[in-house]
Every structure is written in C-alpha cells, then in structure tokens.
Amino acid sequence: MTAAMTAAATGTIVVLSAGAATAAPSTAVSRAAGDDPIVTVSPVDLGALPSFTYVSATSINDRGDIVGSGYSAPYDTHGFRWSRGALTALPDTARGPLRINNAGQIAGSIPGRFYSPGFVLRPDGSVVHLDFSVSDQNERGQVVGTGPLTGGTHAMLWRDGHTVDLGAPAGQSSGARAISGNGWILGDVQTNDHAHDHSARWIRGRWVPLPTATGYGSDINNRGDVVGWAATPTGDTHAMLWQGDRATDLDPHDPLSTAVAINDAGQILGSTYDPATNVGHILLWDHGRRTQLGDFGGLFARPVALNERGDIVVATSTAAFRRSHGRTERLGGSAQPIAINNRGQVVGSTSLPDGTSHAARWDWPERHP
C-alpha cells in the first residue's frame, strides 16, 4: 500500500460558457415504417472550451453535474465541469475526467503518449495524483485502474486516500476494468505470451478467474454478477452471465452475440451481428427473457449504456437513440452519446456544421411521462 500524493488544484476555475443549457429541449415527431411515432429530442448545447475543436461530455451524475474534455491535437486535452448552467475549466492536473459520482468526486487520467497517470479531483478542489491510469469510479469514491511495473502491469485500487496494489499471480500481469457500487472489482490477468489471458474478479485479496476459460467480462453489478462473452471452439462468441461459480450462456443459438452491461436489477444489454446482412442488432435480457430490439434503422447498431432503471442508449451508423420502458426516442443533433445517469439524462457530443463538436445533454421530451 502506498500513500497517494495530494496537491491543491492549480489554476483558477473560471466560467467559460453557459451554453444553451437553460433552453427547454424541443421535440419533433417522425414515424418509422411499422412503428409507433418516434420523438426526436433536441440536444442542450453545453458549450465548448475556447480554442478547442472537439469537446465532449464523458459522465453525468444523478444530480445533473457533467464532466468532459476538449482537444484540438493529440495529448493536448483540457477538462471541464458543467454544473448549474455554467461550464468551468478543470485544473491542468485534472485534464482528462472520466467519471463523476453523486458526491461530486471526479476521477480520470492525464492523456500521454505512452502512459496516462490518473487523478482524483475531490469536491473540495484538491487533486490527488495517482500512479495508475483510471478505468472506473464508484459512489463510495473508490477508483480502479492499471499501473505500470517493471515487466508488466498491476491492477490498482484507490480508497480512503491510499493506493492498494491488487497484485497478480506470479509471473503474470493484471489490470482493473470496472468497480461496482459496493466494491466488487472486475479485471484481467495476462500471461507473458497471452496464451492464457482471462478475466477475473478480485475476491478476498486474490484474483478469481471467471468459470469459463475463454470468458471476457465487460461489466459487474453490486451482486458481483459479471456479463460479457465467451469464445467457442468453432470461433463463435456467445453472450455470457457469470454468477459466482455458475456460468450461463445467454445466447446458445446465436453465433455472434455479446453482453456489455448489467444493472442491479439483473437487466443485461448486449448485441448480435448478422454476417449475412452485415447488420448489428441490439439485445436486452430482462429476468431471463431475451428481446431483440432490432437495428434501430442503421448498420452496426451498438449498445452504449444501461442505467439502473433499465433505460438504454444505442448508437447506429446513422443516428442515436434512448429506449425506456418500450418507448424509443431519437437523440437529435448528430448525437454521439457516451453516458446516461439514473434519471435518464444522456450526455456526449454533437457535431456542428463547421466540423467541430460541442458537449451536449439530452433530457426527456415534454411528452414523456
């Protein structure tokens, strides 16, 4: 265990733009063939950082606070926070924000060419420098990621002001991918030749492999349930659910399915791909029932996010959508969604006619119950 170095935030946080955040989202109705009317929700433009070509939000908490970053060239990234109608710059020691929790703690990494060290920006404005790249943060303020070591990497956990090296089996490396709200950690263990790489959960001080040799875990919930996919001897991929030592093939008859997110209610978001038509379809499992939600009118439909209420976000080759309790809404403004909070608000970016992008938020339409 090593103590993380804490420093006061450098630079002055100044209001850069209030954007169009006070404007109510407008709606327009269009009808897809054979479908109910689809409401198009206009984005709320959160503004942009001065002199930066591309600006995008990366996370939103349940209070509506948003973080993101802007850049014009590789590694020249600067972070921002949007709260109460104002966009403010983050200090240079917090340039790549990834997550913000409901307490207002921000975690992320500072982009670098070979290594991106992490940080925690506390609600009091102080910055904690981390010796690892950040991958996730939970509501307890625990942060996980991966740090470099001689000859490999180790998964790292920051909690209560200290960094804990989660180690790896002898002669192997490890990395942390996700942490649940109550502290379950999902990661990977790699061998030098990568012949026996596998996903694993951190349980009682050690890495416990998923009970499927070829399994890849993508997300973990508060019960320690993991979803992802596993490869078959014939090269197919099947969406999988791992609960303790039990492995469940969610799609035994689909040769190219994956699962990417799971909430505490056990709802699972995933996708499948049809090589004959070159089209991707979105899948949702709810209490064991599999529903194919279709391609949402575009090629390569991919799942983006799932919240605790079961709202999902989908991106396709032509548009982006939010689906809630059987109702689908199109996210307007050349939407590029990244995250959703538990109130159903979506954040990401919108492309502008001049080739730049602004951070954006999509609220519920006026007609939504």
Residue 135 class from Cβ within 10 Å (0-12 exposed, 13-18 middle, 19+ buried)?
A: buried
Structure-token match 């609960």, residue found: 243
Tokens representing 87 are 């966009």
**Do 342 and 5 form a contact (C-beta atoms < 8 A)?**
no
**Do 68 and 80 form a contact (C-beta atoms < 8 A)?**
yes
Geometric angle at alpha carbon 227, from 260 and 136, rounded to 5°: 65
According to the model, what pLDDT value does residue 78 have?
Answer: 93
Count of structural domains, the chain: 1
230 found inside a domain: yes
| Strand order through the sheet with 118-121 | 5-8, 126-130, 118-121, 106-109, 97-100
**What is the phi/psi pair of residue 254, to 5°?**
-105, 120
258 found inside a domain: yes
Question: Distance (Å, rounded) from C-alpha 80 to C-alpha 72?
Answer: 15
Burial state string for 64-76 with b = 16 or more CB within 10 A and e = fewer than 16: bbbbbbbbeeeee
**Do 250 and 292 form a contact (C-beta atoms < 8 A)?**
no
**What is the phi/psi pair of residue 193, to 5°?**
-95, 0
SS3 9: coil
185 found inside a domain: no
**Do 29 and 367 form a contact (C-beta atoms < 8 A)?**
no
How would you classify the pairing of strands 268-274 and 279-286? antiparallel
Query: pLDDT 10s digit of each residue in the chain, 369 long?
Result: 443 333 333 332 333 333 443 333 333 333 333 456 789 999 999 988 887 889 999 999 999 999 999 987 777 889 999 999 999 999 999 999 999 999 999 999 998 888 899 999 999 999 999 999 999 999 999 999 999 998 899 999 999 999 999 999 988 999 999 999 999 999 999 988 777 899 999 999 999 999 999 999 999 999 999 999 999 888 899 999 999 999 999 999 999 999 999 999 999 999 999 888 888 999 999 988 999 999 998 878 999 999 999 999 999 989 999 999 889 999 999 999 999 999 999 999 999 999 999 999 999 986 555
According to the model, what pLDDT value does residue 16 have?
Answer: 38
According to the model, what pLDDT value does residue 95 have?
Answer: 93
CA quadruple 280, 292, 321, 302: dihedral sign:
negative
Question: Distance (Å, rounded) from C-alpha 351 to C-alpha 347?
Answer: 13
According to the model, what pLDDT value does residue 83 have?
Answer: 95
120 found inside a domain: no
**Cα–Cα separations (whole angstroms), residue 183 to 194, 197, 225, 228:** 28, 23, 12, 19
According to the model, what pLDDT value does residue 19 have?
Answer: 44
According to the model, what pLDDT value does residue 6 have?
Answer: 36
According to the model, what pLDDT value does residue 75 have?
Answer: 74
In sequence order, the 6+-apart residues with CB closer than 8 A to the CB of 26 are 42
**Do 303 and 340 form a contact (C-beta atoms < 8 A)?**
no
In single-letter form, the type of residue at position 181 comes to: G
CATH number at residue 225: 2.120.10.30
According to the model, what pLDDT value does residue 50 have?
Answer: 82
In single-letter form, the type of residue at position 177 comes to: R
Tokens representing 4 are 């993380």
339 found inside a domain: no
Q: Count Cα atoms within 13 angstroms, Cβ side, for 273.
A: 13
29 found inside a domain: no
Tokens representing 144 are 């996980």
Question: Distance (Å, rounded) from C-alpha 29 to C-alpha 49?
Answer: 32
259 found inside a domain: yes
Question: Distance (Å, rounded) from C-alpha 159 to C-alpha 339?
Answer: 24
222 found inside a domain: yes
Tokens representing 193 are 């030749």
- Reported as type and span, the H/E element at residue 198 is strand 198-203
**Do 204 and 216 form a contact (C-beta atoms < 8 A)?**
no
- Which residue range forms the structural domain that includes residue 249? 212-331
Question: Distance (Å, rounded) from C-alpha 19 to C-alpha 152?
Answer: 44
Residues in the chain: 369
According to the model, what pLDDT value does residue 15 have?
Answer: 35
According to the model, what pLDDT value does residue 14 have?
Answer: 34
